[in-house]
Amino acid sequence: MPTIRPAALRAVTELIARRMGSTEAEASEVADHLVRANLAGHDSHGVGMLPTYVRLLQSDLLVPNQTAETVLDAGALLVVDARRGYGQRMAADAVRRAIARAGEMGACVLALRNAAHVGRIGTYGELAAKAGCVFVAFVNVSDHAPAQATFGAAEGRLGTNPFCVAVPGSDGPSLLLDMATTTIAAGKARVAYNKGTSVPEGALIDADGKPTTDPTGFIRDRLGALLAFGRHKGSGLAVMCEIMAGAVAGGMRADEPYGDGVLNSMLAIVIDLSKLGDAAAIRGDVEATKAFIKSARGAPGVEEVLLPGEPERRSADRRADGIDVDPTTWADICAAAAKLGITAAEIDQALGANAG
């Protein structure tokens, strides 16, 4: 399994995004996002997505350097249609606009429609938190076969529909809840398939609606579906993510005919803490609440009670010197690069030049 320094992985990713047609700025945003997802421990949303992005590009389902359309700009309401633009830049640009608007109005409701895969939603929570804003996002996934079976269903109807809440700390989020509403994200089933391992029990059903831990049918043959986390409650949140991002925000809905793409739409609420009240006092109260929760005795086998966002921060510390990329994922990335005419020597050069 190659272990690659973050700067080197970033350089290879930027090379691929540039060759996909992105400007330097867009390629940099994409590379930053993907490598940070790997650092956070979410390989499902890291550089392993590149082969999918190349496939989407070559099917005209992802548009580099897209100009988003502002559908509505009315005070605290912002509606933006990304028109299949490269998701990482489309979403970051839209959230930056919402942060600026929240700075003027106190809060902003952002409806982002139809971006190509926006990746790890926590990235946008981090962006907002760094600017002193609370961030709440309901996201749906559309334009491909439904991956999630809602509570009681034996077949898929929804995407993995992530939900995210970020609360600012002194520099970035103090708390960051960022999760798929399925027991595991679809990309985690892909990672398990690539590694030849199984997925946890209770995460997946097969084509007959029966529980399975083998990701082969789901990833290779697109059969079966992931289950919502937390029975009817997680399933209810998944339904609301679909409704908020689809019907309410105006993004592509789960009930519309789908193709072979990946679209994300999002309804996000951004609140500027300094407009809501005494930001320092609110932050103090957040920290006090966190400390109280963490002071609980651990359950048997649990050394420390963790809070949302802590596992990702610890992973980033652990991986700062090197990110392990499994051989199948690395081979897939190199094959995708080759489809863009990138040679092995160019990849080696990007890796080598950033080895230190």
Nearer to ligand NAD, 121 or 273 (CB): 121
Q: Residue 61 corresponds to which tokens in the numbers above? A: 């389902």
Q: Which of 66, 148, 150, 160 binds ligand NAD (CB under 6 A)?
A: 160
CA 61 to chain centre: 18
CA 238 to chain centre: 15
Q: Which of 121, 134, 239, 342 binds ligand NAD (CB under 6 A)?
A: 121
Q: Please, are residues 83 and 93 in contact by the beta-carbon 8 Å criterion?
A: no
Q: Taking contact as CB under 6 A, which single stretch among the options 100-108, 175-183, 215-223, 316-324 is the one that binds ligand NAD? A: 175-183
Counting contacts by CB under 6 A, is residue 142 touching ligand NAD? no
Q: How far apart are CA 29 and CA 150, in angstroms?
A: 34
In the complex, least distance from residue 345 CB atom to ligand NAD, rounded to whole angstroms: 33
DSSP string, 191-247: HHHHHT--PPTTSEE-TTS-EE---HHHHHS--SEEEBTTHHHHHHHHHHHHIIIII
Q: Taking contact as CB under 6 A, which single stretch among the options 74-82, 116-124, 247-255, 344-352 is the one that binds ligand NAD? A: 116-124
Q: How far apart are CA 123 and CA 116, in angstroms?
A: 15
Q: How far apart are CA 267 and CA 248, in angstroms?
A: 8
Q: Taking contact as CB under 6 A, which single stretch among the options 51-59, 171-179, 248-256, 332-340 is the one that binds ligand NAD? A: 171-179
In sequence order, the 6+-apart residues with CB closer than 8 A to the CB of 264 are 87, 91, 112, 115, 116, 117, 118, 139, 140, 141, 142, 245, 251
Nearer to ligand NAD, 188 or 319 (CB): 188
Q: Which of 167, 184, 249, 350 binds ligand NAD (CB under 6 A)?
A: 184
Counting contacts by CB under 6 A, is residue 46 touching ligand NAD? no
Q: How far apart are CA 164 and CA 112, in angstroms?
A: 15
Q: How far apart are CA 155 and CA 241, in angstroms?
A: 18
Q: How far apart are CA 90 and CA 194, in angstroms?
A: 29
Give the up-direction half-sphere exposure of residue 104: CA atoms within 13 A in the CB hemisphere.
11
In the complex, least distance from residue 305 CB atom to ligand NAD, rounded to whole angstroms: 7
Nearer to ligand NAD, 177 or 243 (CB): 177
Residues 268-307 that bind ligand NAD (CB under 6 A): 306-307
In the shown chain, the binding pattern of residues 235 to 274 toward ligand NAD, with x for contact by CB under 6 A and - for none, equals -----------------------------x----------
Counting contacts by CB under 6 A, is residue 120 touching ligand NAD? yes
Counting contacts by CB under 6 A, is residue 113 touching ligand NAD? no
Q: Taking contact as CB under 6 A, which single stretch among the options 25-33, 114-122, 193-201, 245-253 is the one that binds ligand NAD? A: 114-122
Counting contacts by CB under 6 A, is residue 143 touching ligand NAD? no
CB-based burial label for 60 (10 Å; 0-12, 13-18, 19+): exposed
Question: If binding means CB under 6 A, how many residues of this protein chain bind ligand NAD?
Answer: 27
Counting contacts by CB under 6 A, is residue 64 touching ligand NAD? no
Sign of CA dihedral 311, 127, 237, 157: negative
In the shown chain, the binding pattern of residues 196 to 235 toward ligand NAD, with x for contact by CB under 6 A and - for none, equals ----------------------------------------
* Binding stretches for ligand NAD (CB under 6 A): 42, 44-45, 117-122, 141, 160, 162, 176-180, 184-185, 188, 264, 306-309, 311-312
